[in-house]
Amino acid sequence: MTADIITVSRMLFSLLLLVLSPSSSAFFVLYLLCGLTDILDGFIARKLHTESKHGAMLDTAADLLFALAYAVKLLPQMHIPLWLWIWTAIIAAAKVTGILIASKRAHRLYIEHSAFNKLTGLLLFLLPLSARLADVKYGATLVCVAAAGTAISEIIQICRGNAMKENAVIYIHGKGGTADEAEHYKTLFPDCDVIGFDYHAKTPWEAKDEFTEYFDQIGNNYNSVILIANSIGAFFTMNANACEKVEKAFFISPIVDMERLITDMMMWAGVTEDDLHQKKEIATDFGETLSWEYLCYVKENPLTWAVPTHILYGEKDNLTSIDTVRQFARKIGATLDVMPGGEHWFHTEAQMSYVDRWIKRESLR
């Protein structure tokens, strides 16, 4: 929402540029504000995990409006040689062709927001400022070189089929894991964007908000989604129940009964429910902090999950019993595979090879 407000402000600034004199101080200030807000909206959207298809389209509209103000008010002031205009027209034709081909393949308007595009935009933005220091043809040539490189790169990506993927695989790590673990799964899903979700939530109530917002954004950008979730990442996913557009889920060592796990930890630590109620939080010798608020939350918010799901469980999992997992799998109609000798944390070469074979096999169902 904040990013969208900044984008809309850039649109308003661009409209004001159309009625101001390019030589006025007000024009100069608004011009700089347009550049600043163009940087800020994307940065804030990524920081707050609020990127969306709607936001991208709004950003594109703001860019077009700024480009209109640029063309109407600034280009007439710059004496650009004819050969540069011809070069610009060729680049523009190539980019429009790329957009049309990409949009046809993606069945939607597709405009690439690549690093090359951003560099070209920056150079174009600086061109009127640099024109005061040197002949405009030098700066314009640099812009055309960058734009030509961008157009060629985009066409190569389109020809290779690396752009416009309609489906996504979202990887959700467990405790102590990272979003970078998603790299392992890219070879298993070559036709999908494989994305690691770098969430920050520590509790299920925090995760409910963060995961819901994230999956709303993903749902806006892709036609379908496949989930791969580990351990508590699977628990947070089911707790948020963010299943719109989720085609199927692969859960590896999922926590499926958090209340049972917490009471087991209380037993291991010799803590009674009365003790936890009185002290609210109790640190344990095995590195976990027991929380009364956490226990109350999972009691009051049982998991509900309706997505077609495949579960992989390690025979030597020390957090969740096989009976608990089997009961949960029957409850939601999930398939269950047990790796002999497997642990809660799948990480060795043999274990990850087993994971790969499991995903390939279940993907065919």
- Quickly list DSSP for 125-149: HHHHHHTTTS-HHHHHHHHHHHHHH
- 14 exposed, middle or buried (CB, 10 Å; 0-12, 13-18, 19+)? buried
Distance CA 224, CA 166 (A): 7
- Residues 170-222 have pLDDT tens digits of 999 999 999 999 999 999 998 888 999 999 999 999 999 899 888 887 876 78
If you average pLDDT over residues 73-82, what whole number do you get? 83
Are 207 and 164 spatial neighbours (Cβ–Cβ below 8 Å)?
Answer: no
Residue 237, number of CB atoms within 10 A of its CB: 27
SS3 256: coil
Q: Which residue has the higher pLDDT, 45 or 309?
A: 309
- pLDDT above 60 for 49: no
86-94 mean pLDDT? 81
Query: What sign does the CA torsion over 246, 252, 256, 261 have?
Result: negative
The pLDDT of residue 158 is above 70? no
Paired tokens of 281: 């939080």
> What is the greatest pairwise CA distance in the chain?
84
Burial of 159 (0-12, 13-18, 19+ CB in 10 A): exposed
State the Cα angle at 30 between 24 and 36, rounded to 5°: 145
Q: Mean pLDDT across the chain, nearest whole number?
A: 86
Question: Phi, psi (5° rounding) for residue 201?
Answer: -65, 145
Look at 103-107, 150-154, 170-174 and tell me which has the smallest mean pLDDT. 103-107
* Alpha carbons 357 and 227: distance in angstroms, whole number: 16
User: Which residues, in sequence order, are CB contacts of 286 under 8 Å at separation 6+?
Assistant: 265, 268, 269
Question: Which band of pLDDT confidence, cut at 50, 70 and 90, is reported for residue 160?
Answer: low
Annotate 237-292 with DSSP letters as a single string: HHHHT--TTEEEEEEES----HHHHHHHHHHHHT--HHHHHHHSEEE-TTS-EEEH
What is the per-residue pLDDT for 89?
Answer: 83
Whole-number Å distance between alpha carbons of 329 and 106: 36
The amino acid at 282: I
Opening angle at CA 122, ends 120 and 125, nearest 5: 110
**Would you put residue 304 in left (φ > 0), alpha (ψ -120 to 50) or beta?**
beta
Token reading at 311: 């579960």
* E strands in 36-133: none
With beta carbons less than 8 A apart as the criterion, state whether 286 and 269 touch. Answer: yes
Q: Is the pLDDT of residue 13 over 70?
A: yes
Res. 61 pLDDT band, cuts 50 70 90 = confident
Alpha-carbon distance of 202 to 130, in angstroms, equals 49
Instruction: Please tell me which residue, 134 or 179, carries the higher pLDDT value.
Output: 179
Residue 101 DSSP symbol: H
Taking residues 137-154, what's their average pLDDT? 81
